Structure 1
């Protein structure tokens, strides 16, 4: 009888076919892969896909860089590579790295073997039993003390969730910002995530599976000098919608660079798309179906490599 490792290799090779993680979920996920991702028959297709993407992303991040890139594309974890056929995604990677398709397929096969070993021997990262339905962020830079408001709507994936842990979606030192919870429970600081303040929100009552919960938080920075020139979000859990508004001082000629599901690679600066602000000096971006580990947001100066951090 095949070992768990052998079954996982087989199931991962099945998953990468067709549209990868975006195919018919119950036709793609075998018994052992479902167990490794925490997927049960009680999960609907959306919840099952979220668990699959989260766990697979977590495992891919533990691979060597060259295998990470090939694996993300193979399974459909890069938004611009959601081609309907596995071979089309292989060809895309081959063109990106200037190698032939046979080399890419070897890398994907090696990645599958390592992913199966990791899935069989490591435990899932604790997601806290919830995911983000919508994160709406408004940034006001046209005043002496910049302000940022984050509004969350989260969906509860298990019973008795009594805390929600998250971090600010923009880089700032905790001592340089005043934080005020507008509604949604009780807030307390926790250790910062790199250069972002981190928090734990305790709802008034424990949340049950299927519930939604809303909360909002306002950040008031002490001066313009402490505001990094970017809002860059790298989610650790799936997020259905990220709505971002940034208001600059009145400047019709300003250009900003936006990032919609960009893969951060150690060997290159992530490429974004240049946008002009509107006549009021604002830009409004709306990102959908965010995938963990990819980069979303806007930069109007500085370096993505230095400023982009993971936010839970």
Structure 2
């Protein structure tokens, strides 16, 4: 064990081996409880934390994970590796800060799951956002968020607060709205009660743009801080489907509007919809889709 693991698990050089195993196992079990179901199953079996899973050989535990997740063994190993990385993040979030402190201010919470449904088969377009956040510190009383409406400036002119409607379905009270830039809307939600550290909370929102505003042909999530899962569904107009759709992963924000799109193509299903998901998003990079509008729409 290295010094970092000793620190976060509370073990000391004078502890006997059996006491070290007990403390480490208790920490791993607790940290694994904060992971998504598949990763929790993977790491608890891989480390033989459950009495019923204490198979002596690692390859047998990998096979056990594969059976429980209904996946092949190669996929099971990947899920175990992902789970171990996430365990390290959870452990680090509970460790004391170094003297240097964090490189930049953190909001005190992160997004564990973000689910968005974008309806483009109606006017005006609407986006439904359901977000599960987790508090990284005690007494998180509000969350600050932002959404950007990217579109040609010549078509819309400068954005105004009334160009975007924000409805709160559940999870808080909208108290502050302000323009953070020419096209980015910042807003604050006061939570129903202060969150304790590691406590999760669900938020449901609807965004609707003014009917006469032009919307750029893309929808992406660019997290400022950690976002573990992003699930995106988009419904297009069946009578005017896009000519092509691209999936954006780890993209620089400038690439979202690049004249030469890059990325994997995404097919429409029979309902003229697409569904795609992203795991462990890198802060500052874009994840989502862009599309080539049908001819004669002016790129909106």
Name the TM-score, length of structure 1 as normaliser: 0.55
Does residue 185 (structure 1) correspond to residue 176 (structure 2)? The answer is no
Deviation string for 1:134-190 (max 9, x for gaps)?
011111011121111111101111101111111126547433221111110111334
1:22-171 map, 5 Å: 124-168=103-147, 171=150
Counterpart of 2:279? Answer: 288
Q: Is the 8 A contact 1:155 1:211 kept in 2?
A: yes
Q: 1:257 to 1:297 in 2, by over 3 A?
A: same
SS at match of 1:163: strand
> How many angstroms does 1:264 deviate by?
5.4
Structure 1 residues 286 and 280, CA gap change in structure 2 (3 angstroms): same
- C-alpha separation in 2, matches of 1:170 and 1:208: 33
Q: Which residue of 2 aligns with 1:299?
A: 290
Q: CA RMSD in A?
A: 3.5
Aligned residue number for residue 274 of structure 1? 265
> Aligned residue for 1:239?
227
State the SS of the aligned residue for 1:175: helix
Where structure 1 has 5 or more consecutive residues not aligned to the other structure, the ranges are: 1-25, 48-81, 83-118, 303-312
8 A Cα contact 2:242 2:291, kept in partner: no
Residue 187 of structure 2 is matched in structure 1 by 199
- Residues in 1 aligned to 2:140 and 2:114: alpha-carbon distance in whole angstroms: 19
Q: Distance in 2 between matches of 1:211 and 1:125?
A: 23
Q: Does the CA contact (< 8 Å) of 1:258 and 1:272 recur in 2? A: yes
Q: How many residues align?
A: 200
Structure label with greater radius of gyration: 2
Classify the secondary structure of the residue corresponding to 2:117.
Answer: strand
Distance 1:292 1:40, change over 3 A: farther
Work out whether residues 243 and 292 of structure 2, in 8 Å CA contact, stay in contact via their aligned partners in 1. no
SS of the residue aligned with 1:232?
strand
C-alpha displacement of 1:205: 1.1
- In structure 1, C-alpha distance between the alignment counterparts of 2:253 and 2:121, rounded to whole Å: 30
Answer yes or no: is 1:214 the counterpart of 2:202: yes
Unaligned residue ranges in structure 2 (runs of 5+): 11-26, 34-77, 79-97, 152-158, 294-300
Q: Provide closer, same or farther for how the CA distance between residues 257 and 120 of structure 1 changes in structure 2, counting only shifts above 3 A.
A: farther
Note the C-alpha offset of 1:223.
1.4
- CA deviation map 1:91-148 (0-9, x unaligned): xxxxxxxxxxxxxxxxxxxxxxxxxxxx997853222111111011111011121111
Q: 1:190 to 1:40 in 2, by over 3 A?
A: farther
Distance 1:206 1:187, change over 3 A: same
Structure 1 residues 176, 46: closer, same or farther in 2, change over 3 A? Answer: farther
User: How does the TM-score come out when normalised to structure 2?
Assistant: 0.57
